[in-house]
């Protein structure tokens, strides 16, 4: 006998469950990619699996191994249009793509692509095998740092650069509390 399938999750509740609380997030600088989504719409907006090829094409042509400020800006604009399209469809029709594994994968792929492009736009140098045509040299003095990208509750991206090459703490220390013995 086959196991009973679990019911499909409520997409709005699932997305809001994984979004960090506003007070837990630092105030990073705003990413250069245009974002216009509102919090409730952006959280519930799922991207149709058919958009996967468009995401892959935007990343290959704009944010591949060979990149420039212009190609990254074009990739960011294409990705922002895909994101806005899902948010607009939700606002207009009250729903977006039907929840499925492929839909969640495509939605997550779009988010990861937006994060990668936002970070790549910030780092104006060639590092590793990612070659910036407009910045062909490695610049350790200015860029031996980490880029931290955060996803705000309204699904916009915040990008900031650390002050030192030391990797920042990923978990905030817990506040001291009274102990009960």
User: What is the CATH number that goes with domain 25-161?
Assistant: 1.20.58.100
- Domain borders along the chain are 25-161
78 has a pLDDT exceeding 60:
yes
Q: What is the pLDDT of residues 1-12, one digit of tens each?
A: 444 444 444 444
Per-residue pLDDT, 139: 76
Q: What is the pLDDT of residues 131-174, one digit of tens each?
A: 787 888 877 777 778 888 888 887 788 888 888 777 777 766 55
| 24 or 81, greater pLDDT | 81
48 has a pLDDT exceeding 90:
yes
Per-residue pLDDT, 28: 36
Q: What is the pLDDT of residues 110-134, one digit of tens each?
A: 999 999 999 889 887 777 777 787 8
Q: What is the pLDDT of residues 49-69, one digit of tens each?
A: 999 999 999 999 999 888 999
DSSP secondary structure, the chain, as one string: -PPPPPPPPPHHHHHHHHSPPGGGS--PEEPSS-----HHHHHHPPPPGGGHHHHHHHHHHHSSSEE-HHHHHHHHHHHHHHHHHHHHHHHHHS--SPPSHHHHHHHHHHHHHHHHHHHHHH--S-BTTBEETTB-S--HHHH-S-EEEEE-TTS-EEEEE-SSSSPPPSSPPPPP-----
């Amino acid at each position: 006998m086959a196991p009973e399938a679990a019911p499909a999750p409520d997409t709005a509740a699932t997305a809001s469950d994984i979004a960090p609380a506003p007070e837990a997030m630092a105030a990073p600088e705003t990413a250069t990619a245009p974002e216009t989504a509102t919090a409730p719409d952006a959280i519930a907006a799922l991207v149709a699996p058919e958009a996967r090829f468009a995401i892959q094409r935007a990343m290959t042509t704009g944010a591949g191994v060979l990149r420039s400020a212009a190609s990254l800006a074009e990739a960011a604009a294409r990705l922002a249009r895909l994101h806005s399209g899902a948010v607009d469809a939700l606002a207009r029709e009250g729903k977006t793509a039907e929840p499925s594994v492929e839909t969640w994968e495509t939605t997550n792929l779009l988010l990861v692509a937006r994060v990668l492009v936002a970070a790549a736009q910030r780092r104006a140098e060639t590092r590793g095998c990612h070659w910036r045509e407009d910045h062909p040299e490695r610049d350790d003095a200015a860029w031996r740092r980490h880029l931290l990208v955060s996803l705000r509750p309204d699904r916009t991206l915040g990008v900031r650069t650390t002050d030192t090459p030391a990797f920042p703490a990923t978990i905030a220390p817990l506040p001291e509390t009274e102990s009960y013995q």
